[in-house]
Amino acid sequence: MKVQALNVNEYGETADGLAVSLFTLKNRNGLTTQITNYGGTVTCLQVPDREGRFANIVLGYDTLAEYEAGAAFFGALIGRFGNRIAGGRFELDGEVHQLATNTHPNHLHGGDRGFDKIVWDAKAEITANGPSLVLKYLSVDGEEAYPGNLDVIVRYTLAHNDSLIIEYRADCDRATPLNLTHHGYFNLTGDPGNDVLGHEMEIHADHFTPVNSSLIPTGEIAPVAGTPFDFRAPVTVGARINEGHEQLLFGGGYDHNFVLSKSERKEPELAARVYEPLSGRVMEVHTSEPGVQFYSGNFLQDFRPRAGLCLETQHFPDSPNQPGFPSTILRPGESFRSQTVYSFSAR
């Protein structure tokens, strides 16, 4: 049996002179991930195929400077609010808040400098479950125009059952919207020169949230039955992606929130499964969140279009402006808890 391990190396300095580290976690079966405390970014995830051959199944850059300049959120932690807020505007307890409209005309993934662009305090440790990296950050009142001080702790664990576990915790001193997620781009072939259109996708969702032309939910929770959004049985990503469905035209492909069939989840439950037939790799996604954003990498920069897919576990987009959606407002005295597990195997 291989020994679990962790290692830390210098990764460089940010443009404003902050030192950044790169942490390597390895479980007993040889799975390896590298995570930098710049943005809590997973830069590499080595997983075996059906023949036992390891390859990196996530997209990313080679250098810190590229992550600083990039706009695709490769492998990063996202906050305070993952996904979009219409017009960057919301009202909370009678006060209107205006956020950055960094994807015109809307707010996306925390603003101009979201959690993907900050240097987290980091500590690596060996646990019984596998090597872990604990990341901490205090987002101060008014940062990116969000109200209240927010304490965030995220733990990555590369478990011995061949899963990457992401645990989130947050506490605040003033009511604030909160929607934390991980923005990994997966390509289970292990070769970013391939697209993901042949990946077989299964999402445990009977409904999704349709969007308008700027990708803001209309407020409707629509059935997937009879649409290209029905992934209740396995179907390849590319099977219907070029159909002339209005929603696919709005997103340039899939970029939609799926309403998981069991939305009241205290513990992680199966949300999605992906199978790549050439390599035999399988990824299962379990989450305690009520939704998952499936993005088919339609407008990737620095890689071919659709070279990776995202399954971002989350609450729903634009929830602060959508009273019919599950609330994303965290209040003082409450403590946000969430867990997502990406599990890997081959067949």
Residues catalogued as catalytic: 183, 312
C-alpha 4/C-alpha 1 separation (Å) is 9
281-287 and 336-346 strand pairing: antiparallel
User: Positive or negative CA dihedral for 168, 122, 76, 196?
Assistant: negative
The residue among 85, 102, 322 whose CA lies nearest residue 218 is 322
C-alpha 314/C-alpha 331 separation (Å) is 18
Other C-beta atoms lying within 10 Å of the C-beta of residue 33: 24
CA angle 241, 247, 253 (to 5 degrees): 35
Q: Which helix (H) or strand (E) holds 249?
A: helix 246-251
With a CB cutoff of 8 Å and minimum separation 6, the contacts of 254 are 229, 237, 241, 248, 294, 295, 296, 298
| Cα distances (angstroms) measured from residue 138 to each of 71, 80, 141, 222, 325 | 23, 11, 9, 37, 27
The residue among 239, 241, 205 whose CA lies nearest residue 222 is 205
Contact 99, 232 (CB under 8 A): no
Torsion of CA 84, 326, 286, 301, to 10 degrees: 0
Tokens standing for 14?
């940010």
